Amino acid sequence: MDKKTEIKRNTQQRQLITECVQVLKHPTAEDVWQCVSKKLPNVNKTTIYRNLKRMVDEEELLSFVTGEGITHFDSTLDRHYHLYCKKCGGITDTHAELLDQLTKAVQDSEKFQIEEQNLILTGACPKCQNNDPK
Amino acid sequence: MDKKTEIKRNTQQRQLITECVQVLKHPTAEDVWQCVSKKLPNVNKTTIYRNLKRMVDEEELLSFVTGEGITHFDSTLDRHYHLYCKKCGGITDTHAELLDQLTKAVQDSEKFQIEEQNLILTGACPKCQNNDPK
DNA sequence: CTAGATGCAAACGTTTTGCAAATCT
DNA sequence: AGATTTGCAAAACGTTTGCATCTAG
């Protein structure tokens, strides 16, 4: 009764969107649009938005927002969090063990029932620390 | 050379904005506008946005974005993170010890130099768990 | 054949910008 | 007085919606 068993068509657009999210790793809607456009020059952004939204609703993708307020999509579904490099804009996944510990602790001490964890650590990735020795 | 030593005027609007952020705890720009409007009915939203932005730039306030993509402002500057209740929309501060541990671990293992931590745990606060026994 | 998906244009909400008028200091 | 800040209107931005057309099943 929770998940709708909706008919889903396998359109070219949808296939490409899925593909692009996987390849691009942590794209924005704009990124996906540009990527899909390469193979299908007339895709409309609306289609991108509609599909991404639906995929998030149906839990095929997850989305998160960086400190700058930009929404990114992620095809990695296991719980993890993100390292966001301010300099190059790169986003790296990190595993969730420590975050899980933290969440459990909060759950116990605050009696807060946690459903989603959204952690973004922002800073400078190893590459940018070296390349930009300011 | 980093922080600008700009002239800052003590306008009525700015005072009220500061006041409202403190009182409201984790307001959105809209919240602040409504709050300031009570005492100064003709404030323009632009003024709210401009001041909030500047305060964040000058590190008098910090801002964060919930999973829904809504920007909130916070006058508590010490490192801490937020519990966001999906049902009532309430936001609670939590202390940062565990998050600090996590951050240190990431810093060491990933060689990622972390400047900002942004953690939002979303779920149901104690009140809403009880009041809404679904 | 037909429900569901797309493309387009227009609406939307939030935030930003340009400029003249008002206001702190 | 003079520079900063405000208010207003308009633009910008990312996203959503309505609707006619197209298409996968």
Examine the domain organization and report whether A2 and A62 are in the same domain: yes
Examine the domain organization and report whether B71 and B15 are in the same domain: yes
Q: Kindly tell me if the per-residue pLDDT of A24 is higher than 50.
A: yes
**Confidence at A56, pLDDT banded by 50, 70, 90:** very high
Q: Kindly tell me if the per-residue pLDDT of B1 is higher than 50.
A: no
Examine the domain organization and report whether A83 and A129 are in the same domain: yes
- Cβ burial B4-30 (10 Å sphere, 16+ → b, else e): eeeeeeeeebbebbbebbeebbbbbbe
Examine the domain organization and report whether B66 and B104 are in the same domain: no
Of B67, B118, B123, the CB nearest to A112: B123
In angstroms, the Cα distances linking B132 to B87, B88, B90 are 9, 10, 15
- pLDDT tens digit sequence for A71-118: 999 999 988 889 988 888 889 988 788 888 888 888 888 889 988 888
Interface check for B124 against chain A (CB to CB < 8 A): the answer is yes
- For residue B83, give the CATH number of its domain: 3.30.1490.190
Mean pLDDT (chain B, rounded): 88
Q: Which residues contact A90 (CB under 8 A, 6 or more apart)?
A: A84, A125, A127
The number of CA neighbours under 13 Å toward the Cβ of B91 is 20
**Domain end point (choices A28, A43, A75):** A75
Looking at beta carbons, which residues of chain A come within 8 Å of B116? Answer: 67, 121-123
Burial of A81 (C-beta count, 10 Å sphere; 0-12/13-18/19+)? buried
pLDDT at A132: 61
Examine the domain organization and report whether B59 and B109 are in the same domain: no
Examine the domain organization and report whether B98 and B68 are in the same domain: no
> Which segments of B25-110 does DSSP mark as H helices, in order?
29-39, 45-57, 97-110
Task: Give the count of domains, chain B.
Answer: 2
- Judge whether residue A42 contacts strand D, using its CB and a 7 Å cut-off: no
- Return the beta strands (E) in chain A as ranges: 62-65, 71-74, 80-85, 91-95, 113-124
Q: What's the CA gap between B118 and A66, in Å, rounded?
A: 9
- Return the beta strands (E) in B1-134 as ranges: 62-65, 71-74, 80-85, 91-95, 113-124
Q: Kindly tell me if the per-residue pLDDT of B12 is higher than 80.
A: yes
Q: What's the CA gap between B102 and B56, in Å, rounded?
A: 25
**Confidence at B5, pLDDT banded by 50, 70, 90:** low
Q: What's the CA gap between B131 and B115, in Å, rounded?
A: 39
Examine the domain organization and report whether B56 and B116 are in the same domain: no
Examine the domain organization and report whether A64 and A35 are in the same domain: yes
Interface check for B126 against chain A (CB to CB < 8 A): the answer is yes
pLDDT at A20: 98
In this structure, of A82-86, B4-8, B41-45, B87-91, the range with the lowest mean pLDDT score is: B4-8
The number of CA neighbours under 13 Å toward the Cβ of B64 is 27
Examine the domain organization and report whether A55 and A26 are in the same domain: yes
pLDDT at A63: 94
Q: Kindly tell me if the per-residue pLDDT of A4 is higher than 60.
A: no
Average pLDDT, stretch A11-38? 97
Q: Determine the distance in angstroms separating the CA of B110 from the nearest CA of chain A, rounded to an integer.
A: 8
Interface check for B77 against chain A (CB to CB < 8 A): the answer is no
In this structure, of A61-65, A67-71, B19-23, B128-132, the range with the lowest mean pLDDT score is: B128-132
Return chain A residues 52..81 having CB < 7 Å to nucleic acid strand D: 53, 70-71
- For residue B27, give the CATH number of its domain: 1.10.10.10
- pLDDT tens digit sequence for A32-51: 999 999 999 999 999 999 99
In angstroms, the Cα distances linking B94 to A10, A23, A56, B41, B79 are 45, 36, 28, 34, 9
Examine the domain organization and report whether A35 and A82 are in the same domain: no
Which of A22, A29, A26, A31 is closest to A92 using CA atoms? Answer: A26
Q: What's the CA gap between A133 and B7, in Å, rounded?
A: 32
How many residues are listed for chain B in this entry?
Answer: 134
Average pLDDT, stretch B41-64? 96
* Domain boundaries, position B66: 1-75
Burial of B98 (C-beta count, 10 Å sphere; 0-12/13-18/19+)? buried
pLDDT at A2: 41
